[in-house]
Structure 1
Amino acid sequence: MMRSELEKMKVTQTPPSIYYIPNFISKEEEQYLLHHVTSAPKPKWTQLSNRRLQNWGGLPHPKGMVAEEIPQWLKLYMEKVAALGFFGDKTPNHVLVNEYLAGQGIMPHEDGPLYHPVVSTISLGSHTLLEFYQPLNSEDLPCDKQKEQTSFEDRFLTSILLEPRSLVFVCDEMYKTYLHGISERTVDKITDSIANIEMCETAREAEELTRTTRVSLTIRHVPKVLKAKFLFGKK
């Protein structure tokens, strides 16, 4: 895909920068990836209260990530994502696989400095809404709101509809400054607050979409990588 074509994928209704690519993979590729995710050994899964996940490539840590071998079925798509050029001269070396059942989500958060400030995600199985919020210390909110607010409703900025088989890149200030999360819903209403709605064929005529099980492949670059012998103090 040429850079001029990629610029057409830029979501213009958000601060810099989000790029949304529908149908990045085929239905056959989607089933191929879902098969490998669900076939992963049970110890590879980590069960959280609101979802379960797999780490591939190592466990990111402030001291550095101890690199682990990534299977070929994931490497293929890491290379496909890297070829689009959003990581510059960096090579993606980590994949976080999240499984969300209908009604599950993740609290608004930032990915932080452990990663190169670009995140890419392939969605499998179901759609979801990726929602963005003003940061906790935002000057756009009155002081009393900053101190007292217990919900994220007043900090809501925009949302991006992630369709099955799509790829999204979150870069620049949208990565560095704003929080992102997924609300715990089973049905998403299709409204004008969805910044990329005109780019989503499956939702243009819909008033709402019902979630099913979604698997996300979040492909990133961890700059700080250590060898095991350094991490554990071996010589």
Structure 2
Amino acid sequence: MDSVRKTSNSFVSFLHIFIKFLLSCSLSPVFGSAIVLRNSHHRNCRHSLSLRRYLKNFALQLLHKPVMDNIEAKQQRLDNFKIGSLPNVFYIPDFITDADQTLLFNNIYAAPSSKWKLLKNRRLQNWGGVVHEKGLLPQALPPWLTNFTHKISEESGLFPSPINHVLINEYQPNQGIMPHQDGPSYFPVVAILSLGSPVVMDFTPHARLKLDSQVIDKESDGETIEIVKDKWLDDHRPFSIILMPRSLLIFKDNAYSDYLHGIKDCEVHDYDGAVNEAEALKHSESYRHLFGSEDKEETIGKEECKNISRTVNRVSLTCRLVPKVHKNC
């Protein structure tokens, strides 16, 4: 693989040099005039101009094609990680290694206590600067963060420029965050890197998409229970995603603008019906103490409870791009 990569890089370098040569030729009247037949002055000028235009267009096509091919290749790879019914939600398990997670933990908890901001239901670190309605007052991200933000940008291909803002949230087992949207200050792509405890993140359509509510009677253990079921515009519907340690969640466009996302503030999360439920089952052996054990099995009717016991803290890195940046004076 390394030899193939080196060969590919050498070819790309050669291609860029060749393109620059063609562009310089296409802009040079001397080159154009030197290679056309000199039957007449007007014919030479006409041929020279046509050749310069041809070379310029050819060079630009060569320059443009590798970029487009690279973008398409990244999109095809990312499409393998689509989950749920929305086309703009991607879940990548094991995006980083155990060693990466340890490195991040070490750097996060090495920060001075003044870096932490204590909120009602979590505490956080703000990296990259202060975001307000007029844009970002920037501060450079530290290298231990840019190593990962660059990996996210490069492998997803969804950010038009480097990620410049990261919020690090720490949640204790009984803490969460209310349903919310990230707002218009950010480019409409969010990448969330999860560390520590697994959790379930719930997505709910925005209130403006709600049509009405319907009360449904359901029989359970000989009793009738009334369940309120909401109806949504354009077939929008709530959904949930299990976020395992070291995974990356990306959502964008209508998943960003039409949905609120949040985490319930409780120690046990139900993942029944989660759009990536198979991911939890795949990890259930590795995280048996979190997904329950034989002495904790419960049933609802004839179905096994599907829940996650949050026994350790969760840390998340919310990586975003603020397009409007104030220049430092």
Superposition TM-score, scaled by structure 2 size: 0.62
Amino acid corresponding to residue 131 of structure 1 in structure 2:
D
The equivalent position to 2:156 in structure 1, one of 61, 73, 85, is 85
- Partner in structure 2 of residue 63 of structure 1: 134
Deviates more, 1:31-40 or 1:206-215: 206-215
- Which deviates the most, 21-30 or 182-191? 182-191
Does the 8 A contact of 2:167 with 2:319 survive in 1? yes
- Separation in structure 1 between the aligned mates of residue 317 and residue 229 of structure 2, nearest angstrom: 27
* Equivalent in the alignment of 2:307: 208
Is the contact between residue 18 and residue 168 of structure 1 (CA under 8 Å) also seen in structure 2? yes
* 2:297 matched residue in structure 1: none
Q: Distance in 1 between matches of 2:131 and 2:229?
A: 30
Whole-angstrom distance in 1 between the partners of 2:187 and 2:174: 30
Q: Give runs of aligned pairs for residues 184-223 of structure 1, distance below 5 A.
A: 184-192=265-273, 194-200=274-280, 201-203=282-284, 206=291, 207-211=306-310, 212-223=312-323
Change (3 A) 1:196 1:50: same
Please show how residues 1-235 of structure 1 align to structure 2 within 5 Å: 2-11=74-83, 13-142=84-213, 154=230, 157-192=238-273, 194-200=274-280, 201-203=282-284, 206=291, 207-211=306-310, 212-229=312-329
Kept after mapping to 2: 8 A contact 1:16/1:171? no
> 1:22 & 1:153 partners in 2: Cα distance?
32
- How much is the aligned-residue C-alpha RMSD, in angstroms? 2.3
- Displacement of 1:55 in angstroms is 0.5
Greater helix proportion: 2
SS in 1 for 2:141: coil
Higher Rg of the two aligned structures? 2
State the shift of 1:141 in Å. 2.7
Instruction: Report deviation, 1:84.
Output: 1.7
| Higher alpha-carbon deviation: 153-162 or 102-111 | 153-162
Structure 2 CA distance for aligned equivalents of residues 95 and 225 of structure 1: 15
Counterpart amino acid of residue 74 in structure 1: L
**Contact 1:104–1:184 (CA under 8 A) maintained in structure 2:** yes
